[in-house]
Structure 1
Amino acid sequence: MSAVTAHINSIGTANPPHGVHDAFVHFAKASLKDDKARRLFGRMVERAGINQRYSFLEPVMLPDGAVTDRDGFYGAGEWASTSLRMARYERDAPALAVAAICALDPGIASAGITHLIVASCTGFMAPGLDQAIVAQAGLDPRIERTVVGFMGCYAAVNSLRLAHHIVRSTPDARVLMVTLELCTLHFQRTDDLEKLLAMLLFGDGAAAALVTAEPHGIALKDFRAETIAGTADAITWAIGDQGFHMHLGGEVPARIAEALRHQRECNLPDGLLRGQTPEAFSLWAVHAGGRTVLDAVEHGLALRKDSLEPSRAILGAFGNMSSATLMFILARMLDQCREADLPQPGLAMAFGPGMAAESFRFTLLGRRA
């Protein structure tokens, strides 16, 4: 009996209504008191490759030129406590999840969903986001639910791995996977240039995917994780009294490039490339952690200049949405594929705390005829 292959049949995506990128740039420049730091920040904005990011917080320009939001969440006084930020997550996250699910399939309630996997690292609530999704999307409350929490940018890979194992063990399973992040709930008041540059990357978004054994969409082949030694402090995500504090070290791109260069040169069967050369993959779905991260992957693996176009396009349109980002990239590939070019082999990867690289091989088959 041949092994069952799990497939991402379709993907739906959603974002909050308010663009916040320009407002944040204005705010950050005003926060920097040093002219040299302000000029450097401006140059980094131009090079970031980001045109827009989205949030439920609507930017407002005050008469004195200061930037806040319509609810005063990030106002002139003390910024919101972690409890208030979690209250906003509990209010807004379920609606965004349902919007992504409706983009996937408006009739999801009658689609026979057997399992629900939810990944998020930007909020906590109980009853959980998974239970809110079941209730608001009209799913059977008896479905099996799993929450992948606080894993950060590579959580989509871990969630797909779970879906992959579920479908392989239960071939008639219909797995709904949701990745959702409200990163803009965790902006911090600071005049630290490195922290402002990290906040410059992040926006909000959600993606929903249907994973089954039906042979269309994106076939999932295998999964593998690699940890870069000595980098445990390079990416951290800690809970503070005023939201979650992201640290994204400046050494991250260089360490990624170095590790991938080593992987390419050694080319071991149990390595990230599985003993294959980069040329063996037509498609690269790389988490858009930032322009410098994408540059590091491109240089480390010696890829063609256009190899990471899907990742760069998603970064430009939405910023880094943490766990949701990779699913946006796969959705773009699925939407733009041409039947004449199919099937196409690909490699997906994402980087996060640890510092670890989570990856999987896939084959793009295209939508069902």
Structure 2
Amino acid sequence: MTSAIAHINRIGTANPPFAVHDAFVRFVSAELADARSRRLFERMAARSGIAQRYSFLEPVTLADGTITDTAGFYGTGAWPSTGQRMALYERDAPRLAFAAIEALEIDIAAAGITHLIVASCTGFMAPGLDQAIVAGAGLDPGVERTVVGFMGCYAAVNSLRLAHHIVRSTPEARVLVVTLELCTIHFQRSGDLANLLAMLLFGDGAAAALVTARPEGIALRDFRAVTIPGTADAITWSIRDQGFDMHLGGEVPARIAEALAADASRGDDRGLLRGASPGDVALWAVHAGGRTVLDAVEHGLGLPAEALLPSRTVLHDHGNMSSATLMFILSRMLSGSGEGDGLALAFGLGMAAESFRFTLER
């Protein structure tokens, strides 16, 4: 008996209304008292490959030159507690989810959604974001709900894997997958240059995808995960008294490049490439974790410069939106003219690499 093949039929994406990248760069430059650190930060910001990031927090420059936001969330006094940040998540996350769902350009309430999968690692609320989506989007209250929490940048892969298995087992299923992150509510006041450079990467965004057995769009073939040995502390995401504290070790790009080079040369079907050579892959959907991460993938696999153009374009236009980023990349592929077999890759906490093979059909 042949199993149904899950397809991503549609993807809708959304960002909050306010552009914040330039304001963030100017704020940090003004805060850094050490001239050498300031020059280094500004040089790294210029080389980041990021032109814009978005937030629900609207930047404003006060009369004395202080850069803050119109709500004073990141004001001149004490910065917000984790509780205050979660209140912002509870207010804004549903709004962004509905915007992404609306971007699907279908009547979602009448679409017969049977399953809802929600991925997010930047906030908690109860009743959950999944329940807010069911109520606000007019879905059947009996829809089967699953929440993928605190998995970070590779959560989209895990969410699509769940949808893949649901459709394979229940071919009539219609799965709505929502990935959503409000990274900018976790900006930390810090004098540590490495932390500031990590915060430079992240913006807010959401994506909604319809996954069914209908043979249209992106066919999901198979999924595989590996863990890079000795890297458990390279990427961490901890809940502190003043928000969620992200740590990105400087060794991350080098470890990714080493692991991928080893994978490409192993010569069997047990790695991420499943025994194929990088040249056999027509399309690359690589999570845009940062310019250095994309450079590491390109160099580790010996890819031509144009191979990661979709990823670099999303990084340039939106920054790293954690779990939503890969979906933005796949959305661009869906709306483009390319076709053929591809490989999606995302790296994150663990330090793990999550992947799936796909075919873009026209």
TM-score > 0.5 by shorter chain: yes
Q: Where does structure 2 lack aligned partners over 5 or more consecutive residues? A: none
- Alignment correspondent of 1:133: 133
Kept in 2: contact 1:267–1:273 (CA 8 A): no
Amino acid aligned to 1:354? G
For residues 102-137 of structure 1, the C-alpha deviation after alignment (integer angstroms, 9 at most, x for no partner) is: 101341000000000000000000000000000010
The 2-side partners of 1:115 and 1:267 are apart by 39
Between the two proteins, what is the percent identity of the paired residues? Answer: 73
**1:196 to partner: Cα distance:** 0.4
**Out of 341, 358, 363, which is 2:359 matched to?**
363
**Which residue of the partner structure matches residue 332 of structure 2?**
332
Mapped contact 2:3–2:169 kept (Cα < 8 A): no
The count of corresponding residues between Structure 1 and Structure 2 is 362
Q: For residue 197 of structure 1, report the CA deviation from its aligned partner.
A: 0.2
Alpha carbons 1:41, 1:197 under 8 Å: kept: yes
Deviation at 1:267, TM superposition (A): 3.1
What residue is the counterpart of 1:315 in the other structure?
Answer: 315
Correspondences of 1:19-58 after superposition (within 5 Å): 19-58=19-58
Is contact 1:32–1:192 with CA below 8 Å preserved after alignment? Answer: no
Runs (4 or more) in structure 1 with deviation over 4 Å come to none
CA deviations over 1:245-293 (Å, ceiling 9, x no partner): 0001111000000000100111320111000001111100000000000
Structure-1 separation of matches of 2:26 and 2:132: 36
Q: Which amino acid aligns with 1:114?
A: T
Partners in 2 of 1:39 and 1:302 — Cα distance?
32
**Deviation (angstroms), 1:337:** 1.9
Could you state the TM-score of these two structures normalised by the residue count of structure 2? 0.99
Q: Distance in 2 between matches of 1:67 and 1:232?
A: 36
2:347 corresponds to which residue? 351
Aligned to 1:98: 98
Query: More displaced, 310-319 or 30-39?
Result: 30-39
Q: CA RMSD in A?
A: 0.7
Where do 5+ consecutive residues of structure 1 fail to align? none
3-state SS of 1:100 partner: helix
Q: Kindly provide the CA deviation profile for residues 283-329 of structure 1, in whole angstroms up to 9, marking residues without a partner as x.
A: 00000000000000000000011100000000000000000000000
Q: What is the aligned partner in structure 2 of residue 147 from structure 1? A: 147
Paired residue for 1:222? 222
- Note the C-alpha offset of 1:364: 0.3
TM-score of the two chains, using structure 1 as the length reference: 0.97
Partner of residue 61, structure 1: 61
What per-residue deviation string (whole Å, max 9, x for no partner) do you get for residues 188-235 of structure 1?
Answer: 001110000000000000000000000010000000001000000000
On the 8 A contact 1:156/1:179 being kept in 2, the answer is yes
Question: Where does 1:1-369 land on structure 2 (aligned, <5 Å)?
Answer: 1-338=1-338, 342=339, 344-366=340-362
